[in-house]
Amino acid sequence: MAGPLPVSPLAQPMPEVPPIAGVTLGVIEAGIRYKGRADLTMLEFAPGTTVAGVFTRNKCPGAPVDWCRAALKGGKARALVVNAGNANVFTGKAGREATAATAEAAAKLVGCKPREVFLASTGVIGETLPHERLTAALPALHAALAPDRWADAARGIMTTDTFPKAAVRTATIGDATVTIAGIAKGSGMIAPDMATMLSFLATDAKIPAAALQEMLSKGSARSFNCITVDSDTSTSDSVILFATGQAKHPRVPAEGGAILRDFARALDELLLDLALQVVRDGEGAQKLIRIDVTGAASAKSAHRIAMAIANSPLVKTAIAGEDANWGRIVMAVGKSGEQADRDKLGIAVGGTWMAREGGVVPGYDEAPVVAHMKGREVEITVDIGLGRGKARVWTCDLTHGYIDINGSYRS
């Protein structure tokens, strides 16, 4: 496309991210695809850092995802290398060689095993990653790593993003305070070209890998797995959490447990903050949409219904047009295939119930609905009227901007 995209109207300012003990970061121009901007990002972690990860469910994942899944079995991490501009997906043997060569080069610099190096690549699919450019840039990148470069890292991993995404939270473990920092990229949820969702988090807490993984999996299910822009699923999506163990706090047992309650709360908040920043940067997004489903047969059923609404092009275009078209929501509930009874459905927009028990609410006040639809944040509640299952998901509207961005991406 000609020139950079305008910044999303839903963008948020990037918070100040403090140094995390045991983490140094840096970025460099490796010239992989972009010119005049950093496109290679590295994080180094103190010895003893544990790691957890959640990856795409796409059946055709990129070589870096395969690499990370294997590396995760060791539960230890010393480095993360991320390049922007080339996804190293659908690149066959050359792609596997690129991941191995990059990890080996980073491992040599850090003084660790290649399997303690984690990798992520986003960008164009099917082009061989020129990994010799990565390995050539790594020594200078490594030599300049510093603890205070989170903002640079947040920018370095961007592709079609229109604003950098970061978040930070503190939590107590026993009577000690620990910090969790995170960055994310993503703006199509989740396109295979240059718009994959990646998120990397680090904490100074000392948490065994198994407990870390359990918290990350649960937190991701309630955050990154509850957002959608266009129903497409990247071949590269990755969320990786590193715990450097530099903070002093009571020992956390392997199975985690009650001592991690506040940490899990802070992690959940952080993950949701980053996930919503990704939706706020959804391609062409003009409105952030929150969908609550209540009264479904189960929580799983509620989630499926909510995602069917969130992924419906007809619902999303109606909201772009500021039209509280609840007929399209009825349609989306029905197409989800989940248990629903037309005659028990209720639908509210911005807190105003427009439909109840299978029919329009006679004489409901349209004024607050119209005003709500004109805002940047739209809230939809759908009550299925059958059980106690509930779910909450987020999406954005479907606009001309989405077509512009995706109809001419490579040209």
The widest CA-to-CA distance across the chain, in whole angstroms, is: 71
Does 89 sit near a copy of itself (CB under 8 A)?
yes
Question: How many Å is the Cα radius of gyration of the chain?
Answer: 22
Does 342 sit near a copy of itself (CB under 8 A)?
yes
Does 366 sit near a copy of itself (CB under 8 A)?
no
Does 357 sit near a copy of itself (CB under 8 A)?
yes
- Please identify which residue in 7, 60, 146, 254 interacts with a copy of itself, judged by CB under 8 A: 60
Does 309 sit near a copy of itself (CB under 8 A)?
no
The least CB distance from residue 355 to a copy of itself, in Å, is: 7
- Please identify which residue in 231, 259, 264, 387 interacts with a copy of itself, judged by CB under 8 A: 231
Sign for the pseudo-dihedral over CA of 182, 185, 187, 192: negative
Q: Which is nearer to a copy of itself, 49 or 311 (CB)?
A: 311
The least CB distance from residue 323 to a copy of itself, in Å, is: 5
157: which 2 tokens?
A: 């991993």
352 touches 263 (CB < 8 A) = no
Which residues make Cβ contacts (< 8 Å) with residue 172, sequence separation at least 6?
A: 178, 262, 263
- Please identify which residue in 240, 318, 373, 396 interacts with a copy of itself, judged by CB under 8 A: 318
Does 355 sit near a copy of itself (CB under 8 A)?
yes
239 touches 213 (CB < 8 A) = no
- The piece of 44-52, 53-61, 174-182, 268-276 that touches a copy of itself (CB under 8 A) is 53-61
Site string for a copy of itself, 119-158 (x = CB under 8 A): -----xxxx-------------------------------
397: which 2 tokens?
A: 């509207």
Binding residues: 159, 185, 196, 283, 406, 411
196 tagged catalytic: yes
Dihedral, CA atoms, 184, 188, 191, 193, nearest 10 degrees? -80
Question: CB-hemisphere CA count at 13 Å for 268?
Answer: 13
C-alpha span between 229 and 259 (Å, rounded) = 36
C-alpha span between 235 and 226 (Å, rounded) = 18
Which residues make Cβ contacts (< 8 Å) with residue 331, sequence separation at least 6?
A: 312, 314
Does 314 sit near a copy of itself (CB under 8 A)?
yes
Q: Which of 24, 196, 228, 399 is catalytic?
A: 196
> Hey, which residues between 388 and 407 contact a copy of itself (CB under 8 A)?
398-400, 402-403, 406-407
248: which 2 tokens?
A: 């002093």
- Please identify which residue in 80, 168, 191, 266 interacts with a copy of itself, judged by CB under 8 A: 191
Q: Which is nearer to a copy of itself, 34 or 90 (CB)?
A: 90
- The piece of 86-94, 143-151, 175-183, 262-270 that touches a copy of itself (CB under 8 A) is 86-94
Residues across the chain: 411
SS3 content of the chain, % helix, strand, coil (to 5): 35, 25, 40
Q: Which is nearer to a copy of itself, 201 or 405 (CB)?
A: 405
C-alpha span between 156 and 183 (Å, rounded) = 10
- Please identify which residue in 247, 333, 373, 396 interacts with a copy of itself, judged by CB under 8 A: 333
Does 334 sit near a copy of itself (CB under 8 A)?
yes
Q: How many residues bind a copy of itself (CB under 8 A)?
A: 68
C-alpha span between 48 and 200 (Å, rounded) = 18
Amino acid (1-letter code) at residue 367: A
- Please identify which residue in 17, 267, 330, 378 interacts with a copy of itself, judged by CB under 8 A: 330
Nearest to 116 by CA among 81, 87, 142: 81
C-alpha span between 75 and 115 (Å, rounded) = 10
Q: CA-based angle 130:38:242, to the nearest 5?
A: 90
- Please identify which residue in 35, 57, 73, 251 interacts with a copy of itself, judged by CB under 8 A: 57
- Please identify which residue in 94, 140, 146, 254 interacts with a copy of itself, judged by CB under 8 A: 94
Amino acid (1-letter code) at residue 286: Q
Does 374 sit near a copy of itself (CB under 8 A)?
no
80 touches 71 (CB < 8 A) = no
- Please identify which residue in 138, 181, 320, 380 interacts with a copy of itself, judged by CB under 8 A: 320
Does 339 sit near a copy of itself (CB under 8 A)?
yes
| Catalytic residue numbers, as ranges | 196
Binding site for a copy of itself (CB under 8 A): 57-61, 87, 89-92, 94, 124-127, 188, 191-193, 230-235, 311-314, 317-318, 320-321, 323, 325-328, 330-340, 342-343, 345, 355, 357-360, 398-400, 402-403, 406-411
